[in-house]
Structure 1
Amino acid sequence: MLQHTLEARLSALREELVARGLDGFVVPISDEHMSEYVGDYAQRLAWLTGFGGSAGSAVVLSRGYEGRGAAVFVDGRYTLQVRDQVPAALYEHVGVPQSSVAQWLADHAPDGARIGYDPWLHTAAFVRTLTDALRGRGGVAVAVDDNPVDAIWPDQPLRSAAPVMLHAHADAGEDSASKRARIADALSTAGEDSAVIAALDSVAWLFNIRGTDVAHSPLALAFALAHADGTADLFLAAEKQTPDLAAHLGNAVRLHDRDAFVPALGALGGKRVRVDPERSVAAITQALESAGATVVAATDPTVLPKAIKNRVEQDGHRAAQVRDGAAVARFLHWLSVTAPRGEVDELSAAARLHAFREDTGLLVDTSFDTISGAGPNGAVVHYRATEETNRLLEPGSLYLVDSGGQYRDGTTDITRTVWIDTLEGTAPTAEMRDRFTRVLKGHIALAAAVFPEGTSGGQLDVLARQHLWAAGLDYAHGTGHGVGSFLCVHEGPARIAKPQGGQAGTAHPLHAGMILSNEPGFYKEGAWGIRIENLVLVEPRALPGAETGFLGFETLTFAPIDRRLVEPGLLSEAERTWLDDYHAQVLRRIGPQLDGDVLAWLEEQCAPL
């Protein structure tokens, strides 16, 4: 039934492309802000192909020129997921970065093809790459005025009209005027008149506002222009504006309807305008260039200061992590009692975890869709349980749960892999314990790292992989991503990952105040998956005799790591000490929030190895 529906949608899009004189069209997961997670109205790829991941794209040729004439492009995180969700009879499954949209079109598009793209959903760099690839076939990239997918999507959701929420100074730690002054100084120093602020989390941070327009991310749909004189223009739908918002922002911020954004770009002729090439869509650059503005391609000036959390934000994160850790501990205890009876499945487990977080009374939202993977589903890196894929947490198997919460004082993200015991009591296999312990050793190596200022995440990534590599093993995702402060769970500019394959941010230096994840893993396809994830805060480290500044990590996440999956003989003395010390901190920090059987269980889980 689903394949029939997807086939009908694909056919409808092809008819629409033919009517528009297009030979093909590119469909990304994206919105006008280059967001990672997008509102329901922008879920065009999922509606068209059935793919539910958070990163990917598709190309549809108006006729099946070669093979299927359509392809879906995903990276290694989604290799298994795309097989399950996107019919191979309709779409070729293409791996990235081994190939790309542009390369595929260079190989498959007909000579002289007119390939459409929505300039509000792609960067200018993508458009250049697409144009170059088609030129070799005598083809052209065609910017569409309106998206052809929207034309065939009869029940497409509308953009959210929810009012903006104000982010209190008690949680932000710095008012908007101070932030705008810092941005103004950066623009003045660079000789720039204005900067386009298009990324939703950048807008939210700069103006100390939040919203409910994107699931799991407290963001409001808005654009902004920040100017070198400290003033700013904020563009958002009229129904989202409130008297409280105007009072919150003050006279130096001019409020406009969202539809006024493009005309405002057109009024910047003769100005030097900074546009972040990674966080702004091609339509913005095209509008400025048409107006006669000088476009300066440079990083959004809010990105680095947003990533470096101030003292208030750091303390807020610590409070949120301890609160969240206690909820996770309650869940893990509940799981230990209930799952061995064979009464828990992936969906009911995720719902129970959400309920424990809601019991804190302070949960605003989850920070992403919970990854609740039992057995072989745990090997799907970004798995999302559905009624169709829902599996029982079978006694005598592994269960991976990756989840997080949005609280007004912080954003959490934690992964635990646990052994689901039987009522009779059984032990994990030797292979499971070996792989889990190698992942744990990598986690510890990264958590304990001390490194000079200027070190990038790409330089640290090998620490987390070394023990897997020694056994000829690896994992196909990054080791760490930045995390926002009641903002996006994935935040730039820095990340910890292999410095290859177009991994953005791997060369960016880590700075004190940044919060990142530490999440090595291992995945045995068709069997089980393992991941251990904590959040860490980059902090200064004073080393006797050091000739330069050094940094290290403060671990922020506190919840027990399943000791049943640890092979003690594989741990060094230092690693055993780290694990025992970590569990002692878990008990000390979250123990006071627990009592009765849950506290007794936690004491047992946190006993020295």
Structure 2
Amino acid sequence: MTHAADRLAALRTRLVEAGVEGLLIPRSDEYLGEYVPASGDRLAWLTGFTGSAGIAIVLADAAVIFTDGRYTTQVAAETDPVLWERQHLTEAPPQDWLRAHATGLRIGYDPWLHPEAALTRFRGSGAVLVPLSPNPLDLAWVDRPASPAAAVEVHPIRFAGREAAAKREEAARVLRAAGQAAVVLADPHSVAWLLNIRGRDLPHTPLALGFALLRDDASVTLFLDPARIGAETAAHLGNAVSVAPRSELGAALDALAGQSVRVDADTTPAWFAARLRAAGAQVVAGEDPCRLPRAIKNTVEQAGSRSAHHRDAAALARFLHWFAGAAPGGGQTEMSAAARLLEERGKEALFVAESFPAIAGAGEHGAVIHYRATPETNRAIHPGEVFLLDSGGQYRDGTTDVTRTLWTGPGPAPAGVRDHATRVLRGHVALASLNFPKGVAGPHLDAIARRPLWDAGLDYDHGTGHGVGSFLSVHEGPAAFSRAARIVPLEPGMILSDEPGFYVPGHYGIRIENLLLVAPATPRFLAFETLTLAPYDRALIEVGMLTEAERAWVDAYHARVAAEVAPLLEGAVRDWLLEACRPL
């Protein structure tokens, strides 16, 4: 029996002991975030799949894993087909699979790992959902890593731009207007933003993992180990914020009996609402009052993002200059290229970490949308192929995320590759150069970036862009450029990515990404300010396919890159950048 088979068998034994006939296993931990610590990565432990989105269902005689289009190739490579059936998360939803295979069966779930909104979808599947404590998978996971316990850090006002007390009062005002006594803040991003704190519990997202209760008088109880709060952080939090161990969370919810409590059904584990109802509180569904305000960056955060992107651009230019010389001769690998870029970023002021593990995909690996090179998959970068590099940095004053697709040379790419790359570039430019009326939301704009591909009968199986935090998560809601995203009108101060792509499985992938800041254009219209400053690879551009306006936009962008980034560079790197940015 294989290692993966052993784990599946151990879980099935625990399911019998729990009196259920199946189990839902989401990618999320109790904080429902995209990135999880090693101690919370249950899906990876069980299945081998290491992507950031997915869910598995295990029955006594069947096991299936669902992922979206970003991970179709990856899940096939990382899971055993003998053990795991693979399904597309949106084309064949898990609730439909349950309806076909588990009607009438008792299916367990951990109420800490699912928001109420997700459970609502499963309740119509015909299966009998059973909350379980403890989680049978945790009982089977005998070598589980310890939970993170790093110290909580202050996010200074020179980066945050607003005092935590003002944020607390603003959110409390929302509660008072709604007649609500408190709100559960289960998303650590909201806790971090509200209290101007950060942490190191995750490798790439500067969070201190914990929960909070905000009351209508603007007081807060923060639930995490008090030993993680040093003297500086305690003084920063002040008397209006108390800190309690997570073991006291249940009693704090019970104390809200008879009161109205807001719970965001999309971002809060189902355990919270269940505990509040059992205590006699009135649970009111409502959006986390910190979610939208934190997406609308204040002027200090906007300035910080611009500054971070300038320093990031200097690091990228040094890397791209190095790559242009190193790639045609061979001798580099996906991991060595990613390491070189990290080394360059590490030279920049206020750099803390990568904002996600770099996606460095050479040739066919570039078609794996969220590919991550490992010692087992790491391959050489050959001359005459496409290399996709999607990466970002966490700086104290901002978060970056940039993708450039590069031709390893020598000479220009083949005509077919240039056609695909230029269509992606045209869609990228179409979105970046758009003026649009106030009230428009991300889903309304997603198709604009796809038009040049659609004209050729082509498309890509992911959203066009996501929100980005301010020294927080590189993927931030609630706004996004995606057909599946919520209708959230774009507002000045929001930062989103612009990243259309095209992928030929087994051959190459192309994606181009800049970050855009929503900005006022006229009294009734908004526009985008491009934050990312890095040249596009001329070897992949079929200039004749560009309209006059598109060519002018690219030339103006390159002129701006040269003007703003070249002064940060010296010698051969500066000369290379100026050449890369000359007019098309």
- TM-score, structure 2 length as denominator? 0.99
Partner of 1:608: 583
Contact 2:411 2:539 in 1 (8 A): no
Of the three residues 499, 504, 508, the one matched with 2:488 is: 508
TM-fit CA distance, 1:142: 1.1
Q: Residue type of the partner of 2:418?
A: R
Contact 2:311 2:349 in 1 (8 A): no
Contact 1:192 1:272 in 2 (8 A): yes
**1:474-493 alpha-carbon deviations (Å, 9 max, x no partner):** 00011110000000001111
Report the Cα distance in structure 2 between the residues aligned to 1:239 and 1:369, rounded to whole angstroms. 30
Report the Cα distance in structure 1 between the residues aligned to 2:314 and 2:258, rounded to whole angstroms. 56
Contact 2:226 2:243 in 1 (8 A): no
Report the Cα distance in structure 1 between the residues aligned to 2:120 and 2:463, rounded to whole angstroms. 27
Of the three residues 125, 131, 136, the one matched with 1:133 is: 125
Of the three residues 17, 20, 36, the one matched with 1:19 is: 17
Report the Cα distance in structure 2 between the residues aligned to 1:26 and 1:239, rounded to whole angstroms. 34
TM-fit CA distance, 1:331: 0.7
Of the three residues 363, 370, 374, the one matched with 2:351 is: 363
Contact 2:333 2:378 in 1 (8 A): yes
Partner of 1:338: 326
Report the Cα distance in structure 2 between the residues aligned to 1:537 and 1:130, rounded to whole angstroms. 37
Report the Cα distance in structure 1 between the residues aligned to 2:22 and 2:386, rounded to whole angstroms. 44
Partner of 1:564: 539
* Residues 1:240 and 2:228 are matched in the alignment: yes
Partner of 2:48: 50
Of the three residues 112, 122, 139, the one matched with 1:120 is: 112
Partner of 1:462: 447
Name the SS for the 1:586 alignment partner: helix
Contact 2:76 2:86 in 1 (8 A): yes
* Residues 1:537 and 2:529 are matched in the alignment: no
Q: Residue type of the partner of 1:49?
A: T
TM-fit CA distance, 1:18: 1.4
Unaligned runs of 5+ in 1: 543-547
Name the SS for the 2:137 alignment partner: helix
Runs of 4+ in structure 1 off by over 2 angstroms are 125-132
Q: Residue type of the partner of 1:318?
A: R
TM-fit CA distance, 1:592: 1.1
Of the three residues 414, 420, 431, the one matched with 1:435 is: 420
Contact 1:162 1:239 in 2 (8 A): no
Report the Cα distance in structure 1 between the residues aligned to 2:413 and 2:121, rounded to whole angstroms. 49
**1:195-229 alpha-carbon deviations (Å, 9 max, x no partner):** 11110100000000000011200000111111111
RMSD: 1.1
* Residues 1:313 and 2:301 are matched in the alignment: yes
Report the Cα distance in structure 2 between the residues aligned to 1:504 and 1:90, rounded to whole angstroms. 33
Partner of 1:483: 468
Q: Residue type of the partner of 1:359?
A: K
* Residues 1:87 and 2:80 are matched in the alignment: yes
Partner of 1:38: 36
TM-fit CA distance, 1:361: 4.2
Segment of structure 1 superposing worse, 31-40 or 522-531: 31-40
Name the SS for the 2:242 alignment partner: strand
Name the SS for the 2:125 alignment partner: helix
Contact 2:118 2:266 in 1 (8 A): no
Report the Cα distance in structure 2 between the residues aligned to 1:513 and 1:555, rounded to whole angstroms. 12
Contact 2:443 2:485 in 1 (8 A): no
Report the Cα distance in structure 2 between the residues aligned to 1:217 and 1:31, rounded to whole angstroms. 15
Report the Cα distance in structure 2 between the residues aligned to 1:11 and 1:237, rounded to whole angstroms. 35
Report the Cα distance in structure 1 between the residues aligned to 2:33 and 2:196, rounded to whole angstroms. 19
Name the SS for the 1:471 alignment partner: coil
Give matches, 1:59-98, under 5 Å. Answer: 59-61=57-59, 63-64=60-61, 69-98=62-91
**1:120-146 alpha-carbon deviations (Å, 9 max, x no partner):** 000112223323313xxxx42111111
Report the Cα distance in structure 2 between the residues aligned to 1:472 and 1:389, rounded to whole angstroms. 32
Q: Residue type of the partner of 1:410?
A: G
- TM-score, structure 1 length as denominator? 0.95
Contact 1:447 1:536 in 2 (8 A): yes
Q: Residue type of the partner of 1:532?
A: I
Of the three residues 421, 432, 441, the one matched with 1:447 is: 432
Report the Cα distance in structure 1 between the residues aligned to 2:398 and 2:358, rounded to whole angstroms. 17
Identity across the alignment (%): 52
* Residues 1:471 and 2:456 are matched in the alignment: yes
Q: How many aligned residue pairs are there?
A: 584
TM-fit CA distance, 1:426: 3.1
